Amino acid sequence: MRACLRCERSFEGDSWRCPNCGFEPPAQDFRLFAPELANSNEGFDIGAFERLALVEPTSFWFRSRNRLVIQLLTKHFAHARSLLEVGCGTGFILSGVNDARSELELVGSDLHPAGLAFAQRRLPDADLYQMDARHIPFDSEFDVVLALDVIEHIQEDEAVLAQIFKAVKPGGGAIVSVPQHPRLWSANDDFSQHKRRYTRRELKSKLRNAGFEVRQVTSFVTTLLPLMLVSRMRQRDIAKFDPSGEYRSPRAVDRALEGLLETERWMIGMGVSLPAGGSLFAVATKPA
């Protein structure tokens, strides 16, 4: 008995091609460190990866986040040579990092092979692993570890941060992003299987408890916070929630919103710590 990675319906047979929806995942070439969780929906809807792979290149939010990650990576870890992304999903962030920092040895990981199948298409030369972020099988291995919009999906977020700390080389560090402001909780968080939204104090405290030294913390999506508030107020009913609604905009609107986030990114690059926003970014280092 097999389970489709897109529609999740079970079927029998030797082929992975789903007789219900026709989906056939690409051949997988990555090691499974937590095979017992490979087909679970724990923390994330595995059916969402195909939707994400389609909207990521077309949405201002995903493009702007990539640029900010690359900016922080260049500013704080200019001499890094190895990078692990925990919860890499479809590989959109890793592919952006690869374009900007081709000298980096890239490793991606995710709990769900459904996401890694898309990442493999984008990054055929990267090492990809299926693994549980609560049990990272690396010790002082990477100059940088990314965990971008990941730990809010996991109940044991402090355990994940401790594992990230273990995986980082002395003198290296991590870039972490999370959704900010508990009062922004909406159907989007319920649908996305978030466990929490963070305050600045909470994220900094958990990073320090893991052993990190916090170097930079800033909000992001600050200028769009009023729009987010209105949107979240309309998203109280999960039964009526459209998961792709926030990422579908006319091209002119998408470009205008991207321009606002580019202004924020410039300010962050100038050393400004934005006080509030939809997202919270932190850069932390492991003592040498």
Region of 287 on the Ramachandran plot (φ > 0 left; ψ -120 to 50 alpha; else beta): beta
In sequence order, the 6+-apart residues with CB closer than 8 A to the CB of 204 are 214, 217, 282
Cβ 218 vs Cβ 279: under 8 Å: no
**pLDDT for res 162:** 98
The Cα–Cα gap between 250 and 241 comes to: 20
The Cα–Cα gap between 240 and 24 comes to: 29
pTM: 0.87
**pLDDT for res 158:** 98
The DSSP secondary structure of 207-256, one letter per residue, reads HHHTTPEEEEEEEES-TTHHHHHHHHHT---GGG--TTGGG---HHHHHH
Residues in the chain: 288
**pLDDT for res 110:** 96
Q: What share of the chain is helix, strand, coil (3-state, %, to 5)?
A: 40, 20, 40
Tell me the residue ranges of DSSP E strands in the chain: 2-3, 10-11, 31-32, 82-86, 105-110, 127-130, 142-148, 168-179, 213-220, 279-285
pLDDT tens-place string over residues 248-268: 678 899 999 999 999 999 999
Cβ 38 vs Cβ 130: under 8 Å: yes
In sequence order, the 6+-apart residues with CB closer than 8 A to the CB of 245 are none
In sequence order, the 6+-apart residues with CB closer than 8 A to the CB of 75 are 269
- 51 SS3 class: helix
Candidates 266, 283, 268, 115; CA nearest to 214 is 283
pLDDT tens-place string over residues 102-114: 999 999 999 999 8
**CATH 3.30.70.3450 given to domain 29-285:** no
Residues of the chain scoring pLDDT < 50: 1
What are the residues facing 109 on neighbouring strands? 86, 129
**pLDDT for res 244:** 59
pLDDT tens-place string over residues 140-164: 999 999 999 999 999 999 999 999 9
DSSP category for residue 153: G
